[in-house]
Structure 1
Amino acid sequence: MGAAARWWASRVAGAAFVLWAVATLTFFAIRLIPGDPAEAILGGPGSQASDEALAAVRAEYGLDQPIAVQYVRQLGRLAVGDLGTSYSLREDVAALLGAQLPGTLLLAVLALAVAWLLALALATWSTRGGRVSAAVGSGLEVIAAALPHFWIAIVLILVFSTGLGWFPPISTPGVAGLVLPVVTLAIPLAGFLGQVMRESLLDALEAPFTVSARARGESEAGVRQVHVLRHAALPAVSLSGWAFGFLVSGAVVVETIFARPGLGRTLLNAVTLRDIPLVLGVVLVVAAAYIVVTLLTDAAQRLLDPRTRAA
């Protein structure tokens, strides 16, 4: 087996383990939430379901079995791709996720792209303008990274929706409805990526290959574009998998505030209603998307950095 085949085999095995671990932790975590799943299936505590109806539902869904039996049955269904039926919505979980996934993926991808652009622009500016710009850039990065999503969303709505009237306060179809949610997600991530990029830029500017490029007569702009930026992007590329997970977790808050359909809002409602199949489905889809993005970033890092291919 070649090195590339071994690399992919190890990644696939790791992905399978991650999906199993996520399914296991989610299954038992949702069981720790106070309440009766059978009651949730019948409409929640306000349904005033009779004992006979609760017993019938427990028998129908296998909730009267020991927790270990329920866990094994759930894993068996997941292994063949059966995500089950939502308790609260009475719809196929796979169909529900198929309808909600594109909106969340679009939001996360756009936010990642905006965060990259903001981080790159801030890191480049802060390393070019001397000590003052470096201090200002570093401060902006720390502040941006520390801001919570809900606070950013409220400020953006007050300024650009209520005050200026430029964008709608809730997410509407079209480009205008995406601007505020995307910027809300992108700002904290841009702070994290900006710190990493700035440190990498500073290291690359003093590296031997940069000194050699200047000695060959290359301009400062050419040195930065050809040599420095690619080197500085490597740590940020390796963080993009983590960044995607960060964005999806932030989407729970952003989609709720901006009333935007998506996996984050669906997950929040499912947890509230103790909808076990829907919670498991959302978490597994997010974990699978995270794994795919991580594999892509690993592959991109191998292309950008020949040292990783040699290793």
Structure 2
Amino acid sequence: MHTSGPALAQRAARRVLEAVLLLLAVGTIVFFLEQLVPGDPAIAILGGASAHPTPSAVEAVTHQYGFDRPLLAQYWSFLTGLLHLDFGESYTLKQPVLEAIAGQVGPTLALTFTALAIAWVLSILATLATAGRRGAWGRLGAGVEAAAAALPQFWLGLVLLIVFAVRLHWFPVIGSGAAGLVLPALTLGIPLGGFLAQVTRDEFETKLRQPFVVSARARGMSDAGVRARHVLRHAALPGISLSGWGLGSLVSGAVIAEVVFARQGIGQLLVTAVTARDLPLVVGITFVVALVYVVANLLTDLAYVAVDPRLRSTIGATA
């Protein structure tokens, strides 16, 4: 048992190394994809063709940003900057990329973590109330979960906006405070909650047939106590393992919610950066999203072990 600490540290170190390689791969892919986009980046920096930049201005910008250098030389400079966590300066915002992202990442993270919390609350409530129940109640729960998981986020966001903001005036159409966070978070959280509930339900119904459930009921524990204290603990493991993916998908889906609800965040910033061919800003935002995936999956590993202590001995034995 004493080997679990070093084993967990070794596992975390491996995940960090994998994360570094993944981030470098992501940056490389984005760099070369940007080179395939038609058009002159110097013209985009100068406001696009509609701004009618002069040839001398285009030439000056091309030389300033090194667009006239060989592609491999540009890539080497780009890679060197990544290794030093230097994403350069945004072409359009004229400020360091990390500074631009830092100003927008807060609202996006608040949205994604709130949506993840909503998803888990909905999943747990649906599972405890309907999983393993006979008759129409159990079928209704399964049907609602499937319908929620299939909801398109963009459509759901528009429906919530029209019903609860425009018609009922319960929430602001555009808002940055707590009230303005509710509808965007529900837009992202409801479909994910349906998906997590489906996964948790399957495992929950399997665990209900295990001997430890029969033993707990034989000791006089109520049905609600058995479901909440014993079965849910084991049934939540598949959902926990998928939460890392879920959090990453929420960061990606934040682009949709931020557009529908006109919220600030890195989603809006990414749309602007891609439109303007602002490579440093695109790469920086891509790195932030990839980093969220990596950190979320690492925390998922630790949470998985915390929920099921039996895994600690398994990790120690395989280290």
Aligned length: 310
**Is 2:188 the counterpart of 1:185?**
yes
* Deviation of the 1:272 alpha carbon: 0.9
**Match of residue 301 from structure 1:** 304
Provide the residue aligned with 1:252 in structure 2: 255
The equivalent of 1:310 in structure 2 is: 313
Q: Distance in 1 between matches of 2:118 and 2:66?
A: 46
- Equivalent residue for 2:75? 71
Aligned to 1:27: 31
Once the two structures are TM-superposed, the CA of residue 10 in structure 1 deviates from its matched residue by: 0.9
d(CA) in 1 for partners of 2:312, 2:33: 39
Q: Which amino acid aligns with 2:197?
A: G
1:3 to 2:10 alignment: no
The equivalent position to 2:101 in structure 1, one of 97, 100, 103, is: 97
Name the CA distance, whole Å, in 2 between partners of 1:165 and 1:290. 35
List runs of 5+ in structure 2 lacking aligned partners.
315-319
CA distance in 1, matches of 2:81, 2:228: 51
Report the Cα offset of residue 303 of structure 1.
Answer: 1.2
In 2: Cα distance, 1:88 partner to 1:12 partner: 32
Structure 1 distance, partners of 2:242, 2:68, is 44
- 2:281 aligned to 278, 281, 289, which one? 278
Alignment of 1:1-311 (within 5 A): 2-127=6-131, 129-170=133-174, 172-311=175-314
Could you tell me how far apart the structure 1 residues matched to 2:291 and 2:12 are? 16
CA RMSD of aligned residues (A): 1.4
- Say which SS state the counterpart of residue 254 (structure 1) adopts: helix
1:218 deviation in Å? 2.3
Q: Give identity over the alignment, percent.
A: 49
Instruction: Please report how far the alpha carbon of residue 128 of structure 1 lies from its aligned counterpart in structure 2 after TM superposition.
Output: 5.4
What amino acid is the match of 1:164? L
CA separation in 1, counterparts of 2:222 and 2:137? Answer: 22
Equivalent pair of 1:30/1:271 in contact (CA under 8 Å): no
Q: Distance in 1 between matches of 2:170 and 2:310?
A: 48
The answer for unaligned runs of 5 or more in structure 1 is: none
In the alignment, the residues of structure 2 paired with residue 5 and residue 55 of structure 1 have an alpha-carbon distance, to the nearest angstrom, of 52
| TM-score normalised per structure 2 | 0.93
TM-score with structure 1 length normalisation? 0.96
CA deviation vs aligned residue, 1:80-123 (integer Å, no higher than 9, x gap)? 12111111111111111111011100000000000111111112
CA separation in 1, counterparts of 2:305 and 2:132?
Answer: 29
